[in-house]
C-alpha cells in the first residue's frame, strides 16, 4: 500500500469512527499533540478535540461525513491533504438538521504505528440549517431503527 493509500484510509477511519461514535478508535487517528481548527473552533491537542466531539456529537445525534477529491502530497515523513467535505448533522430531539460543505486542510506525520493526523480542520463553503418541523412527513431513524415498507 502506498503512503497516499494509507493516508486515505486514515481519513476514512477518522470519518467512520466519528459517525459511528467509536471514540477510542477515533482518538487513534491523531498524534497526542494534534491540533484542530474547524471553521474557527480551535483545539490545542487530541484530548480536547476528542472530548469535544464525544460531548457534542454523541448519542442521539446522527452525523454523516463524506470526503471527496483528495489532494495529498507526501514529503518524507510528513504529508498534507486537502479534501472536499459534504456533511449532515441531525438532532431529532431539537428538530434540527444541518447540511454543509467545506474544504479540509490536514497535516499528517508518519509514526511507528503508521500515518496519524497532526492537524485537521476545515473552512465552510456553505451551511444550511433546517427545522425538522418544517419538513412534513419526515421520519428520522437512528441506528437500530427501521422503517418497514
What is the model's pLDDT at position 146? Answer: 57
**66 DSSP β-pair partners:** 86
User: Given this structure, which CATH class describes domain 3-134?
Assistant: alpha beta
- In the DSSP assignment, the letter for residue 29 is T
The alpha carbon dihedral of 39, 43, 49, 55 has a sign of negative
Q: Which residues are 127's β-sheet partners?
A: 100
Amino acid 46: pLDDT = 98
pLDDT reading at 148 higher than 70: no
pLDDT above 60 (res 149): no
Q: How far is CA 95 from CA 2, 10, 21, 33, 132, in A?
A: 44, 33, 21, 36, 5
pTM of the predicted protein model: 0.92
- Overall average pLDDT of the 28-54 stretch: 98
Confidence band (pLDDT; 50, 70, 90) for 143? confident
Helices of type H across the chain: 3-19, 23-27, 46-56
Determine contact, residues 121/37, Cβ cutoff 8 Å: yes
- Nearest CA to 90 among 60, 65, 67, 49? 60
At residue 9, the 3 state secondary structure works out as helix
Average predicted confidence (pLDDT) for the chain: 94
Amino acid at each position: 500500500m502506498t503512503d497516499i493509500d494509507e493516508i486515505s484510509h486514515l481519513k476514512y477511519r477518522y470519518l467512520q469512527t466519528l459517525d459511528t461514535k467509536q471514540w477510542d478508535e477515533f482518538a487513534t487517528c491523531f498524534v497526542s499533540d494534534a491540533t484542530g481548527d474547524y471553521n474557527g473552533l480551535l483545539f490545542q491537542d487530541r484530548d480536547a478535540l476528542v472530548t469535544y466531539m464525544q460531548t457534542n456529537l454523541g448519542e442521539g445525534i446522527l452525523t454523516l461525513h463524506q470526503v471527496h477529491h483528495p489532494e495529498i502530497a507526501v514529503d518524507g515523513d510528513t504529508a498534507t491533504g486537502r479534501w472536499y467535505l459534504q456533511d449532515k448533522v441531525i438532532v431529532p430531539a431539537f428538530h434540527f438538521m444541518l447540511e454543509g460543505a467545506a474544504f479540509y486542510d490536514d497535516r499528517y506525520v508518519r509514526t511507528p504505528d503508521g500515518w496519524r493526523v497532526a492537524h485537521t480542520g476545515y473552512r465552510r463553503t456553505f451551511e444550511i440549517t433546517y427545522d425538522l418541523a418544517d419538513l412534513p412527513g419526515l421520519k428520522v431513524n437512528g441506528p437500530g431503527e427501521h422503517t418497514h415498507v
